[in-house]
A and B are shown apart, each in its own frame.
Chain A
Amino acid sequence: MTAPVLSVRDLVVEFDTPHADRAPLRVIDGVSFDVVAGEVLGIVGESGSGKSVTMLAVMGLLPGGQARIASGEVWFNDTRIDTLPFAGLSALRGGAISMIFQDPMTSLNPVSRVGRQIAEAIRLHQPDLNRAGIKDRVMELLDLVGVPDAATRMRQFPHEFSGGMRQRVMIAMAIANEPKLLIADEPTTALDVTIQAQVMDLLAEVRERTSASMILITHDLGLVAEVADRVAVMYSGRIAEMGPVDALFDAPAHPYTAGLMRSLPILAGGRARLWSIPGQPPDVFSRPSGCAFHPRCSLAQEHPVCAADLPQLSGPKTHRAACHFAADVPAWIAAEDTV
């Protein structure tokens, strides 16, 4: 197995509460994962499960003064980056690690020409490059991301671009310095379905050229199944299950993953009421004892241990789940399906 590009070890992120007497909130509570060269890791989970905060912590972009990495380590190649000062991180951001945001409508500066904004991404990391060199590179990038007529388009402002075109520009900016790791935070959520497919194809093409790894944050299970090599399912600030995409989707070892799969509408077959996991995702202010999922889990109802002990990720090296009864899950799924 190759050495990981990004390695996150037991990451704990705490947020301060407005109440001085309360302990800080553990928004991320012991998250570990690796991303190896060239792979796509999908991170899925409900809103508030900690997907985005994990990535902000990796990039060192947690809101200062309110949130901090309380413990754990983040390694990029062979450098520990969670302890780097701002300047050290700046060299890394947009260089070796870059990020693509959810909403291309707001991620471009409305008063600056598109070409100039891409040029800025280049100039931040290659300050010695001359004007002509930068211009050539901008044209090349626009060509690469499939923006036709680059010479004209680079002189235009963001409002002259459609949503899909803007996301292409964002991708051009993200890959401007040949990053080793791309973090895509719900890159297609704001786009139409047809444009989604184009953007994902483009990302695949770009990754092939630059052989970059990618972390894909999304709550679109279909997208993950299509694109990712491995998946991590997050629930209430912890990883519930992690494994290769096929194994995880075919045979979930955590009741939460199984619940997510079951909540998908089935296109074939008869009509039925859309199933959903009972209850609400837990509030970080009052996370349930033991396994955070136990109040919503029918498997846990017969087992008092679920409410008492916090399950750790266990199971085979490649496919692990944080459930006391991971071994019973397949049988449980079969039983549930017949109901």
Chain B
Amino acid sequence: MAFAATLLSAILSLIIVVPLLPSYDAFSQDIFNSLLRPGSVVDGRTYWLGTDILGRDILSRLALAGRVSLAIALSAVVISLFIGVTLGLLAGYFRGITENVIMGIADLQLAVPRILLIIAVTAVLGPDLVTLTILLGLTSWVSYGRVARAMALSLREREFVLSAITQGAGPAWNIRKHLLPNVLPQMLILGSYELGQIIVIEAALSYLGLGVQPPMPSWGLMINEGQDWLEIEPWLAIIPGVAIFMLVAGSQFLSQRFTPEGAPDTDITAIGSRT
């Protein structure tokens, strides 16, 4: 818990604070000061994490890349959470044909690996930040949908739903007022877990050149750029790798900390491992 919180708060404060500081520019190149080691001081300026092949300050690129990754991942989580919760609650509340159709689509989507689907679509549409975000959102709703449906199945039989019906409530009212508030905490925990997953996928796609495009920095892209220098200057690839680890591990551990123990409806790790 404390470990996860430390990891997460360290990387988050770096992402937030560094771009606000003066004299750090993620894009200005300085070819004479390329590939400086971390901690080098040149002309009275300290490069805490060194510079890359074009002489750009790695610390400020790392922070900016973090903002990009986080923005993509958060938007994707919001999109998928919205789709997943809506479809899951509809499936669980109405049962019957609605449930069969929605869960059929979910199973179909589970059968196709997320990353493969995104690579295929990006190959056709071309790499673009907005496209990537929407694609990540559209392909990640299944775990929310399944958990929301499972919870809705038990919630719809609860007496307070029946009691609301005897007070004249219809399906829309019940889903909004009685089901949604009961599933939302679980969905947010699941969201923090999915956040890590999506950051990893985004990094992988950027590494492959299908995600964030240069000169915009991205952790995956930085690993790709550092790959050529792995033998002589390994920190170029290691630093963004550590950043990914801190953010992803931090959010995963933290989300597991908040998962109710032994709750079958909310065993997010079991569902996550299948996606």
Interface residues of A (CB under 8 A from B): 59, 61, 86-87, 90-95, 98-99, 101, 103, 106-112, 120-121, 124-125, 170, 173-174, 176
Residues in B30-52 with C-beta less than 8 Å from chain A: none
- List the one stretch of B8-16, B21-29, B176-184 in contact with chain A: B176-184
A93 touching B166 by the CB < 8 A rule?
yes
A90 touching B169 by the CB < 8 A rule?
yes
B165 at the interface (CB under 8 A from A): yes
A125 touching B158 by the CB < 8 A rule?
no
- Across the interface, B168 reaches (CB within 8 A) one of A92, A103, A108, namely A92
- Across the interface, A124 reaches (CB within 8 A) one of B159, B160, B167, B181, namely B167
- Across the interface, B160 reaches (CB within 8 A) one of A86, A90, A98, A107, namely A107
Complex A-B, nearest 5 residue pairs according to Cβ-Cβ distance, in ascending order: A94-B167, A94-B168, A99-B166, A106-B159, A93-B168
- How far apart sit A91 and B165, CA to CA, in the bound complex (Å)? 11
- Give B96-136 as 1s and 0s: 1 = Cβ < 8 Å from A's Cβ atoms: 00000000000000000000000000000000000000000
- How far apart sit A106 and B169, CA to CA, in the bound complex (Å)? 17
Nearest B residue to A122 via CB reads B167
A112 touching B177 by the CB < 8 A rule?
yes
A98 touching B167 by the CB < 8 A rule?
yes
**Which of chain A's residues have a CB closer than 8 A to the CB of B169?**
90, 94, 120, 124
Nearest B residue to A124 via CB reads B168
Known contacts being A101-B159, A103-B159, A170-B163, is A109 close to B178, with CB within 8 Å? yes
**Which of chain A's residues have a CB closer than 8 A to the CB of B181?**
109, 111-112
Beyond the given pairs A106-B158, A111-B182, 17 more chain A to chain B contacts, judged by CB atoms under 8 angstroms and listed by A's residue number, are A61-B162, A61-B166, A90-B168, A91-B168, A94-B166, A94-B167, A94-B168, A98-B166, A101-B166, A106-B160, A107-B159, A108-B160, A109-B160, A120-B169, A120-B177, A173-B163, A176-B167
Nearest A residue to B167 via CB reads A94
**Which of chain B's residues have a CB closer than 8 A to the CB of A125?**
168
A121 touching B158 by the CB < 8 A rule?
no
- How far apart sit A207 and B188, CA to CA, in the bound complex (Å)? 45
- How far apart sit A322 and B48, CA to CA, in the bound complex (Å)? 95
- How far apart sit A55 and B168, CA to CA, in the bound complex (Å)? 15
**Which of chain B's residues have a CB closer than 8 A to the CB of A108?**
160, 163
Most chain B beta-carbon neighbours within 10 Å: one of A86, A98, A109, A174? A109
A-B contacts, 17 of them at CB < 8 A, read A92-B168, A93-B165, A93-B167, A93-B168, A94-B169, A99-B166, A106-B158, A106-B159, A109-B178, A112-B177, A120-B177, A121-B167, A124-B167, A124-B169, A173-B163, A173-B167, A176-B167
CB distance from B177 to the nearest CB of A (A): 6
A90 touching B170 by the CB < 8 A rule?
yes
B258 at the interface (CB under 8 A from A): no
CB distance from A226 to the nearest CB of B (A): 25
Interface residues of B (CB under 8 A from A): 158-160, 162-170, 173, 177-178, 181-182
B167 touching A120 by the CB < 8 A rule?
yes
Nearest B residue to A104 via CB reads B159
CB distance from B188 to the nearest CB of A (A): 13
**Which of chain A's residues have a CB closer than 8 A to the CB of B160?**
106-110
- How far apart sit A173 and B166, CA to CA, in the bound complex (Å)? 11
**Which of chain A's residues have a CB closer than 8 A to the CB of B170?**
86-87, 90
**Which of chain B's residues have a CB closer than 8 A to the CB of A93?**
165-168
CB distance from A212 to the nearest CB of B (A): 15
**Which of chain B's residues have a CB closer than 8 A to the CB of A61?**
162, 165-166
- Across the interface, B182 reaches (CB within 8 A) one of A99, A109, A120, A176, namely A109
- How far apart sit A124 and B166, CA to CA, in the bound complex (Å)? 11
- How far apart sit A71 and B108, CA to CA, in the bound complex (Å)? 44
- How far apart sit A77 and B226, CA to CA, in the bound complex (Å)? 81
**Which of chain B's residues have a CB closer than 8 A to the CB of A170?**
163
- How far apart sit A109 and B208, CA to CA, in the bound complex (Å)? 49
- How far apart sit A170 and B178, CA to CA, in the bound complex (Å)? 16
- How far apart sit A125 and B182, CA to CA, in the bound complex (Å)? 24
- How far apart sit A92 and B169, CA to CA, in the bound complex (Å)? 11
CB distance from B44 to the nearest CB of A (A): 58
**Which of chain A's residues have a CB closer than 8 A to the CB of B173?**
120, 124
- How far apart sit A170 and B167, CA to CA, in the bound complex (Å)? 11
**Which of chain A's residues have a CB closer than 8 A to the CB of B164?**
120
- How far apart sit A94 and B177, CA to CA, in the bound complex (Å)? 16
**Which of chain A's residues have a CB closer than 8 A to the CB of B158?**
106
**Which of chain B's residues have a CB closer than 8 A to the CB of A176?**
167
Nearest B residue to A120 via CB reads B177
**Which of chain B's residues have a CB closer than 8 A to the CB of A86?**
170
Most chain A beta-carbon neighbours within 10 Å: one of B167, B170, B173? B167
Nearest A residue to B96 via CB reads A65
A101 touching B163 by the CB < 8 A rule?
yes
CB distance from A159 to the nearest CB of B (A): 13
- Across the interface, A107 reaches (CB within 8 A) one of B163, B168, B182, namely B163
- How far apart sit A109 and B169, CA to CA, in the bound complex (Å)? 14
Nearest A residue to B179 via CB reads A109
- How far apart sit A99 and B168, CA to CA, in the bound complex (Å)? 11
Most chain B beta-carbon neighbours within 10 Å: one of A91, A103, A107? A107
- How far apart sit A176 and B164, CA to CA, in the bound complex (Å)? 13
Nearest A residue to B161 via CB reads A109
- How far apart sit A170 and B159, CA to CA, in the bound complex (Å)? 12
Nearest B residue to A117 via CB reads B160
**Which of chain A's residues have a CB closer than 8 A to the CB of B163?**
99, 101, 107-108, 170, 173
- How far apart sit A125 and B178, CA to CA, in the bound complex (Å)? 17
Most chain A beta-carbon neighbours within 10 Å: one of B160, B173, B182? B160
CB distance from B2 to the nearest CB of A (A): 29
- How far apart sit A120 and B173, CA to CA, in the bound complex (Å)? 10
Nearest A residue to B183 via CB reads A111
